[in-house]
Amino acid sequence: MGPPDAILGITEAFKRDTDARKMNLGVGAYRTDAGKPYVLGAVQKAEASLLAQGLDKEYLPITGLARFTGAAAELAYGAGSSALGRLAITQSVSGTGALRIGGAFLQRFYGAQPTVYLPTPSWGNHAAVFRDSGLKVGSYRYYDPATRGLNLDAMLEDLRALPRGSIVLLHACAHNPTGVDPTAAQWAQIQRVVEEGEHLAFFDMAYQGFATGDADRDAAALRAFVAGGKAPVVLSQSFAKNMGLYGERVGTFSIVGADAAERDRLLSQLKILVRPLYSNPPVHGARIAAEVLTQPELRQEWLGEVKTMADRIIGMRQALRARLEQLGSAQSWAHITDQIGMFCFTGLKPEQV
């Protein structure tokens, strides 16, 4: 009998528990004040529109729904980005599937048994996904338990010490599981070190818009690396959190090529990789996301809903900190509001929890 998954196993235990007071603090899924899943209004309208269109259920191409991947690329890289004309992009089975495609691609084309370096800590599934892709997995220091913030000096020291041309996994925003994000100035330092080491930047962006409430701001680090033009960039992108499409499994994997010719070569290899993995991706969720992203009214409604969700999380952080301070706690709780997104490292010890 294999062990339960460290994250999803908590959800299974939660469902079995009969205590009315139970709360699931494991999986990263947005909930209402009543603890219920939330289906965005823009998503409901998009789904109703699709149903009215009477669309078929035919297979998608290997790389997915072009209307969706094109809109997703613009959301991530920016509508005016120079990357769009040289971007090899494929629809994926959410962010996890994107990571697996990326891992398989790098294992095949990025040297002999390459190593991907993850921040310490990182999302619990990162190491497993990359190891199963055939990559070696290393790490670099990131979180500082003493300050409950970013250990920038140690991070930069470790990145400088990596073998030239390594693969560096970077959380684009709302770092999972710490909630600790670099500032713009810190990102500039990180970018400089990655470029000096000729490393490949593998961005994982699962929370665009969901961190600060501003989709452009949350993509700033990714766009800065692309604009710099010195470090190779690949991206895993998910719409599970920011569109609430958890079970629809909607995402993309993309590689920024040097030009259109390289884009076409990259895309041909991505197709060869995807075909034996799952042939082609599911259609329904991609159609929903495409409808939301390309219909102006739905897009504006969605952006407003994302900001509302992000602001609510920020407000809950402020309320928690204020209450702890009102109770007379002697320690600083500033890290609760300094951190961002769905996850928080409280600084409490296991025995205190």
Question: Is 123 one of the annotated active-site residues of the chain?
Answer: yes
For every residue of 150-168, DSSP letters joined together read E-HHHHHHHHHHSPTT-EE
The residue from 45, 123, 187, 302 that is catalytic is 123
- For residue 204, indicate whether it is catalytic: yes
Kindly name the residue from 158, 181, 204, 218 that is annotated as catalytic. 204
Sort strands 149-150 and 143-144 into parallel, antiparallel or unpaired: antiparallel
Task: Report helix, strand or coil for 251.
Answer: strand
Residue type for 301, please?
E
Q: Are 53 and 272 in contact (CB under 8 A)?
A: no
CA 118 distance to own-chain centroid: 14
Q: Classify each residue of 262-272 as buried b or exposed e, where b means 16 or more C-beta atoms within 10 Å of its C-beta.
A: ebeebbeebee
- Rounded to whole angstroms, how far apart are CA atoms 206 and 29? 12
DSSP-based three-state secondary structure for 266:
helix
Token pair listed for 79: 């509508």
Cβ proximity of 278 and 93 under 8 Å: yes
Among 181, 187, 218, 241, the active-site one is: 241
- Rounded alpha-carbon distances, angstroms, from residue 134 to 98, 108, 116, 130, 265: 15, 9, 10, 7, 22
Residues involved in catalysis? 123, 204, 241
